[in-house]
Structure 1
Amino acid sequence: MDPECSQLLPALCAVLADPRQPVADDTCLEKLLDWFKTITKAGSSLLLLQENPCLVELLCHVLKPQDLSSRVLSFSLRLAGVFAAQEDCFQYLQGELLPRLFGEPGPLGGAAWTAPSVRSGWIQGLRSLAQHPSALHFLADCGAVDTIFSLQGDSSLFVASAAGQLLVHILGLSMQGLAEGHPSLQAGDWPVCAQKIVGHIEESLHSTAVPQITQALNVLTTTFGHCHDPWTQVLWVRLSPLVGSLLEKDPVPAAHSLVDLLLSVARSPGLSSSSCGLWETLAQTLNHLSPTQAGPLALGILKLQDCPQVLRAQAFVILLQPLACVLKATGQDPGPSDVLDSATGDSLTVDALLSSKAACVGLLCRTLAHLELLQPLPQRPCPWPQEPLLGAAVTLLQLCRGSASPASDVGRHLCALLLGCVRVQRAALDFLGTLSQETGKPRCPRRPCSPAAQLHWGSMSSACSLWGRVGVRLSDLFCPCFPWIDALLCWGGPWKGRVGSFFMSVSGPQELVTEVFAVLLEYLRSPDSSPTVLKKAFQATFRWLLSSPKTPGCCDLEPHALLVLRELLPVLQKRLCSPCWEVRDSGLEFLTQMTRHWGGQAGFRHALLASEVPKLTEQLLRDPESYVRASAVTVMGQLSSQGLHVTPVSPEHPGGQQKSLLVELLHILSTDSEGFPRRAVMQVFTQWLRDHHADVAGDTEQFMARVLQVASQDLDWEVRAQGLELALVFLEQTLGQFHSHCPYAVTPPVAAPAGPLAQALQPLCRVRLFEFAFRALFDCDRPVAQKSCDLLLFLRAKTASSSGSLQESRSGPDVASVEAALQRWQAGDQGQPLGDLEPEVVLAVLRSVDLEGLRGALAEGSDHMEKSPQSLLQDMLATVGVLGENEADCY
């Protein structure tokens, strides 16, 4: 510990021990505790206490009957645990102090125990203390384990959770030494603390009280999740019958905690591969839980890497049951999939769906969310029932809209429950968008192609004869690596329709895909769709358009998707005129995505230019909502880059054009009162400069000068930071031209002549890029200063090989005046501009400024001085008047 801190520590301990003094806030006490943790990790706790006896006096003073603050008492308990984590210091404090702090004579028997912060501090202190065998004997002797048992049911969730975590830690610490030397140790030979904890868990599992069962299951879940030693196998063999007996109760108690435990055991490397009946228990649990409770367990089983195929099939059936019931209730065939067919007859799922609106909505939303998580995983079931799932998602959306045709009383009841349900609409649209990833992908083959199959399919003639003679299913023989597929499709003849139908069924029949787009358009057209539903409908539509089959060698939308687009654009026009700003913003976001992907394709360009969408988008640049204006700026920037921004003629000047988009965006950058549109303008300008946009390339220097002048005065730090990004792009382009024309660029040891370098830096000086960068170097917002520092370091590195000759040839520019101005700027006086700079001056200043040191200071943070322990102690003492006001560093 620093001598300065040692001098301040006695006064601080006296303040903390005095109930009449105002107590420091929790933040200061947390920082103080973190400081002590750092000290004890780096050195001896015993030496620290011997050199600073005031700390022991503070811990002893806490035990005196007085009206001490609960936060100071909690701090002292945690501090004692930190010191006692080292065994020699534990022995030093064990005499009377630790038993009184953590035993009955201490806070446990006093009025302060009613404060949750004191109980939490007691638990955290023991958690820090329990690091060595001596601590285990102490816990067993002082009765702390029994107290931890009772705190599992504490009214404070934080205290209850911490108590459970502490039990897991004590159990693992008890078994730590024995696990290595005696891997086959029986449960009866376990240490005292471990036997006591396991006995308590067994007692809780036998209980009829659900809270006690939940506590025991939670402790076991954490244990198997963190400990993978051999003793955990012995523990599971001992407790698994008790866990399995919970399934005999109706209803199953603490079902969610039971699911968490079984999945934690299944993920444990030592248990999942052992013959301990785990898979049988999982199968029984799936059958005994309600549909709502079984869903998370089914998803967890399907996510496992090593799991019996029979159990995976059972889990997938349970996961699909709610959607299968929906298909059956609406009179739809679940399809040829055996999985969907076996999932349709579950009466419990039907009862759960029809019990109430809340239960129906919750079960369907969870099912859709689980399948959405499962779909992209490599270990998902194969074959994947793409068509039935598509049908179920479409049917749910139709039920919510009231456009479905139920074929039974169950279907009509479902329609009544789901009509207008926004939650199910959002979940179904998300799932529908996820299913679009399957479009155009071949089904996973049920088995690899055998050599005999490959031989038969070696030629088209044998393929046709094989099909005709024995009726072999093409889907069973399909292998996507075969090059004859394209030839077979192009061959024609009587097989063309059959082969084409097969490949259409790979991602679902065209009728079903058409139905998907129909229901999406229905939602986008409907005036009843909420803004959040519309946003998800736009997202799902884009994903389906993006995944539509492409013609080989063509990136454009396929014909059916173009037809959808032509129907979609009038809907988008309507939404861009919506009175709800969220809807207008979602429409612009959708247009941005489409333009980014298909802006260069003829079909999309023709359809877009034939609509009113570009004109409406330009009008939204003046929208009253700033988010919409920002989105409109982004879209207009993309449209202009793709040549899709058609400037209309003004009524006053039929032969002329309105002001250009560049002028419009500059106006927004200069006058908009909100930061979002101005940030969007800077991002568009940066992209335009990278892409050599026509409006920028015409007079790049004038463009840069105007934008940097405005950006340097902006009050939004993100706009200034984006201005530096724009400056960096211009800098790279300018120096790139210099290096490409420099005859010495290939030979680094030879310095480039000064003339080309000065010529390359002149444009940067003319647009006042360096004044902008130097001013940003001392910006009050650290990200701006860091970005400026990086830019200037990049420039110095790029010009290092040529700056020497340039420096020698310069005719005495006034570098001192620039350096003086920078010093004033650093002091906060940034009123005086630098004026016109010459390249020689810029390079000289770059060499004189300590950019590396400045970057290090910026990375360290502005409050590194105030974070010092000495500053913390001074601040805590100053708040109670022990120190003078001028002796405090912060606050």
Structure 2
Amino acid sequence: MDAECSQLLPLVCGVLVDSRQLVKDDSIYEKLLDWFKTLLNAAPPEMLLEENQCLVGLFKQVLNMGDPDPNLLAFAMRLVGMFAAQEAGYKYLQGKDVVQNMFGECNYNNDTWKDASVRRSWIQGLLCMVQHKQALVFLQQCGLIEVMLSLLNDSSLFVASAGNDLAAHIFLMSATLEGKAGSRCISDLPDVAQTIFRYLEKILTSGAPQSVTQSLKALITIFKGSVDTLADVLWPRISELVKSLLNQKPVNGSPHLEGLLLTFARFQTFCSADHDLWIVVKQALKELSPLQAGSLAFGLLSLKQCPQDVRIQSLCVLLHPLDCILRVSEDSFGQPSLLDEPVCDPITVQNLMSTKTSCTGLLCQCLNHLTDLCDKGCLLENIPDQSILHSVVLVLKVCIGQSVCTSPAGSQFSRFLIGCLRVQRSALDSIGALSVRPLSQEDLEKTYKVLAAYLENPETDPTVLKKAFQASVKWLQASHTSAEHQEASHSFLQGLCPVLMKRLCSPCWEVRDSTLEFITHFLNILKEHNEYLQVVSLSGLLQLALNLLKDQESYVRASAVTCTGLIASIAYTNPTTTFSSIEDLNKEALVPALIDILCQDTEGFPRRAVVKVFTDWLQNGHLTEIHDTELVSRVLEVTLSDLDWEVKMNALELAHGYITQTLEVNNFQSCPYTAGLPMIKKMLPIEDTLRKCEQVGLFQFLLSCLCDCDRPVALKACEILLSVKPRLCEESTVASEQHRRDWLEGRLRHLHISAHADNGNTELDSKWVTELLKKIDLDGIKCSLSKSSDYLQETPLSLLQDITATLCGGEEQDADCY
């Protein structure tokens, strides 16, 4: 603690316990706790207490108050817990009778105990303190274990939740510090751990839903922090408790019961397929409600050590809702069902599927889990891919009225699903995820057909349309790699072009925006395939996309800029494509149009997109064909005065790419005998690099950004300068701090005046950059910029000064404690 804070601390402590003072800003207690936490990370607690006796005085004054302010008492409890977390601090405070009085009977039987914040802080203080054996002994001797356990059923959920954490922490600390090596049963555990576990058993079997839930939460926390040996000791008792819960109807605490089983399933000691844990898991998959069983199944399928038979049962549980729809649909005649026989209780599932809310909820859960499992690659290899895809396609068809089931159950599903946007979005996500599975030509055509139906339907909701576009991109990406599937993809794309043209003319800007994003994505995927590009080019679609550069909506203009940039990139890379015949893609026409957007557009999104396009062109080597020096210079000049900090960030990426490419150029060997050898990278001389960068005003741009008022911009510029400094400055010089500041200030003033002169000439020799980089403390600047923007105000001294200045004023005020 520095001297100034140490001098102010007694005054602050006096202010806090002065009943005449009005502390309205309760957050000052949290800020003080944060400060003390930082201090305790750097210095021993007993030393801080010895040097600052006012803290012990604060604790005693709070304890001597007949009716202390609940917030002040809560602060004191937590602070004592922090200081007593180490044995030395604990002994010091115990010698002053602070620990006993702060956490003992005089407080938890006081009227202030009725305040939930006090009870919670009592728990939080103990949670901090119980880090050593002395604190455990104190809890036992003072009977605090029983008080803590009684709080597990507290009326305040915040208090009960904190009590769960404390019970689990004390259990694990006791088992770790006092446990016997090689324990085989619960009776071998320390007394404290046994007391906690027996209490959790008691409330778990009480039948009261809240008690069961709190017990399960505490057990989950315990086993998340346990090791294999401890889990192995406790499992026999836990398994009996879980079985008793599963035999109840309905099952109490089912969401947390699922979490408890998944926590056990992650232990390596239970990975054997014949362990009785998996018998309990199978029972849970049958007895839990379909919603909870579905979540449990998803968690099990995500585990690598889950036995094969349990994985199969989990998959059956997960797919049951889809199987229900597949069985009642006329479209499924001749199509195998997903499941040989239902795993969940069919009556329970049918009851859930008989109301719209539960039906759509269960179906969406199924589809979302299916999507996640596909993305993670956790689905079994031998699952019925064709039936799964067919069922999801069927759901999509029912949602837009393309498939109507005449059976009673099917008719009911149709009423629930027709026009249900939530189900449509989830099903389209699943369709996209299923593109990674091995599917047939028939499956591909079936999928393209339903996707086309959604894309063509004028009544498709914009959010659903976006999902349909995303799914289409995934199927195009997956299918174009296979020769046998390319024909279907080619046909799908050919039929889609007229639809896309209509969508680009939609009065809804979200539709135009999503369509442009789709065009950009599939062009990026198919840019190496001329036959696909030919289809797109001849459709007139690209010209329409180019016209949207002048759209009235800024999001659409930004997407049009990105799309245009990619189209131009493809045309420049592959001049044989018909893209090159589009007049607006002419370099002399397109670049001025983009620069005009960068200069004139009133919204930030299109301007950001323009700079990103130029950066992409630079990285792909296209700028050399369109006078890169002139273009980069113009972009840096325009963006320097842009008020959107993200535009500047994108321009910094362009500057970074330019200087990197300038520093390192490719030297292709001309000798015929070296043909086939790797390309050698040649470093340009420093003078040439500086000259090229000077031509575009790159260092002037970087230094201006270094002084920018937006901290991310300044930090990015600093990082770029640091990255090139070793190459540009091979030898550094040491100068005094004052001399360095004076020199830097003069150079920057000269640079600023010259850069804004009419001739644009900096009038500085070519060595000014290297001299600057040698003398400027870039590491120090980066360190300062990496801190929060208000770190100068958020200091302990500022906090203490604000507290004393405001509360000692004698008037009722609000403390402005940073």
- TM-score of the superposition, structure 1-length normalised? 0.81
**Equivalent-residue separation in structure 2 for 1:572 and 1:115 (angstroms):** 63
- The structure 2 residue matched to 1:851, chosen from 774, 778, 792, is 778
**Mapped contact 1:330–1:411 kept (Cα < 8 A):** yes
**Mapped contact 2:665–2:683 kept (Cα < 8 A):** no
**Mapped contact 2:425–2:467 kept (Cα < 8 A):** yes
**Mapped contact 2:732–2:774 kept (Cα < 8 A):** no
* Segment of structure 1 superposing worse, 108-117 or 630-639: 108-117
Alignment of 1:673-822 (within 5 A): 673-693=602-622, 697-736=625-664, 758-800=687-729, 820-822=746-748
1:535 aligns with: 466
Render the CA deviation track for 1:275-328: whole Å, top value 9, x for unaligned. 762121111122212222211122222233333333222222222211111110
1:471 aligns with: none
Change (3 A) 1:818 1:839: farther
Change (3 A) 1:113 1:525: farther
Alignment of 1:220-231 (within 5 A): 220-228=219-227, 230-231=229-230
Alignment of 1:100-249 (within 5 A): 100-106=101-107, 108-179=108-179, 181-184=180-183, 186-228=185-227, 230-249=229-248
After TM superposition, give the deviation of residue 781 of structure 1 in Å.
1.9
2:676 aligns with: none
2:81 aligns with: 81
Match for 2:63: what amino acid? L
1:611 aligns with 2:532: no
**Equivalent-residue separation in structure 1 for 2:749 and 2:209 (angstroms):** 70
Change (3 A) 1:836 1:629: farther
After TM superposition, give the deviation of residue 561 of structure 1 in Å.
0.6
**Equivalent-residue separation in structure 1 for 2:151 and 2:190 (angstroms):** 22
**Equivalent-residue separation in structure 1 for 2:348 and 2:308 (angstroms):** 23
**Equivalent-residue separation in structure 1 for 2:49 and 2:755 (angstroms):** 52
Match for 1:599: what amino acid? K
Match for 2:106: what amino acid? P
**Mapped contact 1:675–1:716 kept (Cα < 8 A):** yes
* Segment of structure 1 superposing worse, 158-167 or 726-735: 726-735
2:679 aligns with: none
**Equivalent-residue separation in structure 1 for 2:817 and 2:152 (angstroms):** 40
**Mapped contact 2:171–2:193 kept (Cα < 8 A):** yes
Change (3 A) 1:836 1:698: farther
* Segment of structure 1 superposing worse, 541-550 or 587-596: 541-550
3-state SS in 2 of match to 1:592: helix
**Equivalent-residue separation in structure 1 for 2:381 and 2:532 (angstroms):** 36
1:515 aligns with: 446
3-state SS in 2 of match to 1:792: helix
1:622 aligns with 2:550: yes
Identity of aligned residues (%): 41
After TM superposition, give the deviation of residue 232 of structure 1 in Å.
3.3
3-state SS in 2 of match to 1:342: coil
After TM superposition, give the deviation of residue 190 of structure 1 in Å.
3.6
Change (3 A) 1:691 1:272: closer
**Mapped contact 2:317–2:344 kept (Cα < 8 A):** no
Render the CA deviation track for 1:527-558: whole Å, top value 9, x for unaligned. 22211111110000111111115356x9xx81
2:516 aligns with: 588
Match for 2:263: what amino acid? S
**Equivalent-residue separation in structure 1 for 2:20 and 2:750 (angstroms):** 48
2:575 aligns with: none
**Equivalent-residue separation in structure 1 for 2:686 and 2:273 (angstroms):** 72
Match for 2:100: what amino acid? P
3-state SS in 2 of match to 1:152: helix
Bigger relative contact order (CA 8 A; separation at least 6): 2
1:879 aligns with: 806
Render the CA deviation track for 1:640-665: whole Å, top value 9, x for unaligned. 11127678779xxxxx9998121111
Alignment of 1:290-369 (within 5 A): 290-331=289-330, 333=332, 340-343=339-342, 347-348=346-347, 350-369=349-368
Alignment of 1:552-567 (within 5 A): 558-567=486-495
After TM superposition, give the deviation of residue 868 of structure 1 in Å.
4.1
**Mapped contact 2:112–2:118 kept (Cα < 8 A):** yes
Render the CA deviation track for 1:616-662: whole Å, top value 9, x for unaligned. 22222222222211111100111111127678779xxxxx9998121
Alignment of 1:833-852 (within 5 A): 835-852=762-779
**Mapped contact 1:328–1:344 kept (Cα < 8 A):** no
2:673 aligns with: none
* Number of matched pairs: 786
**Mapped contact 1:224–1:264 kept (Cα < 8 A):** yes
Structure 2: where are the runs of 5+ without partners?
572-577, 670-681, 734-740
**Mapped contact 1:617–1:635 kept (Cα < 8 A):** yes
Render the CA deviation track for 1:245-303: whole Å, top value 9, x for unaligned. 11221111111111111111121233445976212111112221222221112222223
**Equivalent-residue separation in structure 1 for 2:43 and 2:636 (angstroms):** 54
Match for 1:790: what amino acid? E
3-state SS in 1 of match to 2:340: helix
Match for 1:541: what amino acid? S
Match for 1:561: what amino acid? S
**Equivalent-residue separation in structure 2 for 1:20 and 1:45 (angstroms):** 30
**Equivalent-residue separation in structure 1 for 2:742 and 2:148 (angstroms):** 71
Change (3 A) 1:777 1:825: farther
**Mapped contact 1:712–1:772 kept (Cα < 8 A):** yes
After TM superposition, give the deviation of residue 817 of structure 1 in Å.
8.9
**Equivalent-residue separation in structure 1 for 2:87 and 2:770 (angstroms):** 61
Match for 1:869: what amino acid? P
Alignment of 1:58-69 (within 5 A): 58-65=58-65, 68-69=68-69
After TM superposition, give the deviation of residue 740 of structure 1 in Å.
8.7
* Segment of structure 1 superposing worse, 53-62 or 698-707: 698-707
- TM-score of the superposition, structure 2-length normalised? 0.88
**Mapped contact 2:504–2:512 kept (Cα < 8 A):** yes
**Mapped contact 2:12–2:800 kept (Cα < 8 A):** yes
Render the CA deviation track for 1:702-729: whole Å, top value 9, x for unaligned. 2122211101111112212222222233
Indicate the structure (1 or 2) with the bigger Cα radius of gyration: 1
2:590 aligns with: 661
**Mapped contact 2:435–2:478 kept (Cα < 8 A):** yes
**Equivalent-residue separation in structure 2 for 1:247 and 1:829 (angstroms):** 80
Match for 1:433: what amino acid? G
2:560 aligns with: 632
After TM superposition, give the deviation of residue 61 of structure 1 in Å.
1.7
2:736 aligns with: none
* Segment of structure 1 superposing worse, 191-200 or 4-13: 191-200
**Equivalent-residue separation in structure 2 for 1:523 and 1:133 (angstroms):** 66
**Mapped contact 2:317–2:343 kept (Cα < 8 A):** no
**Mapped contact 2:172–2:225 kept (Cα < 8 A):** no
Structure 1: where are the runs of 5+ without partners?
440-506, 651-655, 742-751, 805-814
Match for 1:681: what amino acid? V
**Equivalent-residue separation in structure 2 for 1:123 and 1:839 (angstroms):** 66
1:550 aligns with: 481
Render the CA deviation track for 1:395-443: whole Å, top value 9, x for unaligned. 110111121132521111111111111111111110110100114xxxx
**Equivalent-residue separation in structure 1 for 2:666 and 2:617 (angstroms):** 21
Change (3 A) 1:381 1:796: closer
2:674 aligns with: none
After TM superposition, give the deviation of residue 522 of structure 1 in Å.
0.8
Change (3 A) 1:74 1:703: same
After TM superposition, give the deviation of residue 668 of structure 1 in Å.
0.9
**Mapped contact 1:634–1:681 kept (Cα < 8 A):** yes
1:500 aligns with: none
After TM superposition, give the deviation of residue 343 of structure 1 in Å.
3.5
